[in-house]
Amino acid sequence: IDYILVGDYYIPDLKLPEQRSALHLLVYQLLQQFRNARVCGHRDLSPDLDGDGKVEPWEWVKQCPCFEVSKEF
């Protein structure tokens, strides 16, 4: 399932509290339905080019989102 944030999300502080709350609720509801799901951003799907088990910024194929999804959720 893809969820796309539209707008200027290169500056995380611009997200409205209502947007953040709605997104948290949606992710929570989806995780209740799909318990083994992985919540991640586009950049987290980039390949681990050096094989160290982490996708580091220099390995990102995409820069979005501009926040760490795993920390947000």
**57 contact partners, CB below 8 Å, separation of at least 6:** none
Please choose, from the candidates 37, 61, 38, the residue with its C-alpha nearest in 3D space to the C-alpha of residue 48: 61
Q: Where residue 29 falls among pLDDT bands split at 50, 70, 90?
A: very high
pTM: 0.66
Residue 25, pLDDT above cutoff 70: yes
* Kind plus residue range of the DSSP H or E element containing 69: helix 69-72
